[in-house]
Structure 1
Amino acid sequence: MLEITHLHVRVGEREILKGLSLAVHAGEVHAVMGPNGAGKSTLAHVLAGREGFEVTKGSVLFDGTDLFALAPHERAAAGLFLGFQYPVEIPGVSNLLFLRTALNAQRKERGEPEISAAQFMTRVRAEAAALGLDLEMLKRGVNVGFSGGEKKRNEAFQLAMLEPRLAILDESDSGLDIDALKVVAGGINRFRGPDRAVLLITHYQRLLDHVRPTHVHVLIDGRIVESGGPELALRLESEGYARHAA
């Protein structure tokens, strides 16, 4: 599904990613772990198409298509979703309007009919209930007045509604208490499937106690320096990253 080959990325004069390679197949959940400044969020932003990141070498294929040939909205329509470390607020645009507009824009890009208001609200009620989101909250501006945990639950709600093929989740556990963590993890687990994949970016093992990955990678100084299974995350929790940095 996703094939990253020798990817080099710089921001201004600083090279952040320095030859990163990674392959993610349908049905898999990959956790990318590493210390601050390793390049984890840079990887997420580059894949989503955020401006300000210059790709100097390497390639990324998404379902066999050159990802960098697609504009951000085309990547989204193709099935790529980015969950932000710090979800933004959009005053004046309700969550429901934002989400239905995004969903229908993607459906139009794929040549599919728009979802009706009745179909949309049926899905909204089911997914909101599963994530413990109040419908009244969803009528407010996007993330406006939401706590950190509510913002992350809202992103899990967007993930469920948009049904992408590849979810890139940048520190979805950041700022969550244990109850909110379990709810967000439950949303990720419900999303998992044989035709979908997840790229989890995180500092810590605690999310992986609830979302068991198929692969774990250690990202240090712009490169993946070690890969393994869930046991690698447990070792990192006890040993830290010092042995890799050395």
Structure 2
Amino acid sequence: MHVAITGASVGIGEALARAFAAKGAVLSLVARRKERLDAIARELSGRAFLHQADLSVPERATDWIAPAEAELGPIDVLVNNAGVQHIEPTELAAVDAGEMLLRLNVLTPLRLTRAVLPGMMARGSGAIVDIASLAAITPMPGMYYYNASKGALANASEGLRGELRGTGVHVVTVYPGPVDTDMGRKGYEKYEPTFTSKLSPVGTADELARLVVRAVERKKARVVYPRSYGVTLLFPRIARWVTSRFSPPIKRLPG
């Protein structure tokens, strides 16, 4: 099984690489940090194709697919994981940085999916895994561009699953909540500490990766993690009210 993972050098992407490798998959790992990809590949037992790329340029985002498939065969599982998160008062947000986020978080995964989908459909098998966010269901204050990007990716993912029913190609939409990664920790630092925020469950990248691998194997429609946040799918209006009402305030720089 050939699994391609974007944003594979750290955090959730690195955990996914290790989890799929443990199942015997061959891997295509794509990220900006080549030295991290090299280090991860040395620790994995299976074959790996490594590609350094800035995926915030959608027009070049698919350049690695042809050489990866030439080396490892057709991509069986595409994991759209690469992404960035900005947390800031919206009126102070840098427009150029926000639009770069949208290119990386939305346009690139859509372009990658479009590139591998015809081959999967012709073979009658394959899986697309989209790492969205609970922010797609319960948008967080201070994440104006991020909320928009994950809402777009999640809706595209959910719609594609229905479209592909009966083709043999499966789509898994992943909704991570707070996960203990570098990105997650930096995100927490942008908010004022409150009693409510300290009660929020926080998961691990390794456990999320395990659940994603199982969802691919069992053809599950979606993963919500930590699992206690599953209620947000059942009662999104209530979850959005709670998020809006009890989210901690964003730290503001002096002046």
TM-score by length of 2: 0.34
Structure 1 length normalisation: TM-score?
A: 0.35
Q: Greater relative contact order: 1 or 2 (C-alpha under 8 angstroms, separation 6 or more)?
A: 1
Instruction: Pick the structure with more helix per residue.
Output: 2
